[in-house]
Structures are given as structure tokens and as C-alpha cells.
């Protein structure tokens, strides 16, 4: 893969990197995203982290590399998606020990910058008391914020929370609304981010 001068604008490189990802050409995408980093395109850090976290094409999963690139995306690029991804690394213990307190910290950073799925994950941490004691009020608030943005798993989690608190009817209605919303969104666009669970 070459970077001739006529095709190395940031927009063109981003398009080419995304096309490489769609073809599962991990090496090509990695090459292009690293070229984007050199051009100052900060979001490329996070994309490189994703390639290493998920393993794309011939690029094997490498959680240490993923962590390091996500850290660069937060430290150098102020990228809230990178913060969300670091939260996921610590929440799931990918290449590191599970650390719910660090996961919570990174999810908060992402949520405060508008990454709605981070609200869902914060709700789960608070609801289950992961890393700290269970905080039903914080869990409810986080699930409500994510549900307001249309995240159906937030509705389901909120429904389950209400049921566990003795609000059976309210909980069942929220849970069923979440299932119905999930189905309707899936029918229209199965790749819609609102139906991601994490």
C-alpha cells in the first residue's frame, strides 16, 4: 500500500482506512491509520486500538497494544471514544486484571463527553456494585440517561433494576418496552449502535 501525494489528504486516508477495515485488511488499515497519526488526525489512535483489541484480518489480538493506543487517544487526543474503550479494557479485563474502579473512571470520562453507551456501562457498574457498594440511585440515573438516547439495553437494565427494587409493574413495562424497541430498531438497521450491549 502506498501513500502517493495525490491521495493522502486526511479525508481520503480515512476513507481508504475504513474501506480496508470493511475488507478485513487489518494491515492495510493499520498502515493508513498510522499515516493519519503522523498527519495529526487524533481519532486514528482509537481506531488503531480497535484493530488490536478486536484483531482484524491478519492482525492478531494484542490487548497491550490496544491499551497503549487507547491511552494515546485519551492523553494526546482527548478522545472520549478512547476513554470508553479503556473502560471496556478494564471492565472486561482484556490483557489486564479486571479493575472496575478504573473502568468506572474511564466510563465517567466518556459519559461526561457525551458517549451514551458509557452511561449504560456506568449503570451496570453501579447496579451490580462492581468495585464499590451498589448504588441504585446512580444506576437508575445512568440507565435513564442512556435510555433517553434510545439505548434499548438501558431500558432492559432499568426494567430489571425496578423489578429488583419491588416496582414490578414499572419494571416489566420498561423491560418489555426495551425488547420492543430492540426489535423495531433491529428490523430497520441491525447495525444501529443503540442496540449494542457493550
27-55: average pLDDT: 96
Are 94 and 81 within 8 A, CB to CB? Answer: no
Instruction: Indicate the pLDDT class of residue 10, thresholds 50, 70 and 90.
Output: very high
pLDDT at 4 over 90: no
Expressed in percent and rounded to 5, the helix, strand and coil fractions of the chain are 70, 0, 30
C-alpha cell at 41: 488526525
Identify the weakest region by mean pLDDT among 58-62, 69-73, 194-198: 194-198
C-alpha cell at 86: 479503556
183-192: average pLDDT: 90
120-133: average pLDDT: 95
Amino acid at each position: 500500500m502506498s501513500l502517493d501525494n495525490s491521495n493522502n489528504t486526511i479525508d481520503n486516508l480515512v476513507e481508504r482506512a475504513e474501506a480496508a477495515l470493511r475488507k478485513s485488511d487489518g494491515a492495510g488499515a493499520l498502515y493508513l491509520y498510522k499515516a493519519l497519526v503522523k498527519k495529526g488526525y487524533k481519532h486514528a489512535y482509537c481506531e488503531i486500538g480497535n484493530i488490536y483489541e478486536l484483531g482484524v484480518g491478519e492482525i492478531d489480538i494484542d490487548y497491550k497494544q490496544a491499551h497503549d493506543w487507547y491511552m494515546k487517544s485519551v492523553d494526546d487526543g482527548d478522545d472520549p471514544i478512547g476513554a470508553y474503550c479503556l473502560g471496556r479494557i478494564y471492565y472486561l479485563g482484556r490483557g489486564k486484571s479486571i479493575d472496575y474502579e478504573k473502568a468506572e473512571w474511564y466510563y465517567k470520562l466518556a459519559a461526561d463527553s457525551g458517549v451514551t453507551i458509557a452511561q449504560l456501562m456506568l449503570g451496570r457498574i453501579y447496579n451490580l456494585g462492581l468495585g464499590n457498594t451498589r448504588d441504585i440511585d446512580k444506576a437508575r440515573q445512568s440507565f435513564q440517561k442512556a435510555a433517553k438516547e434510545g439505548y434499548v439495553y438501558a431500558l432492559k437494565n432499568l426494567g430489571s433494576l425496578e423489578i429488583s427494587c419491588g416496582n414490578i409493574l414499572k419494571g416489566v413495562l420498561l423491560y418489555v418496552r426495551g425488547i420492543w424497541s430492540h426489535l423495531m430498531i433491529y428490523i430497520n438497521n441491525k447495525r444501529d449502535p443503540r442496540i449494542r450491549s457493550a
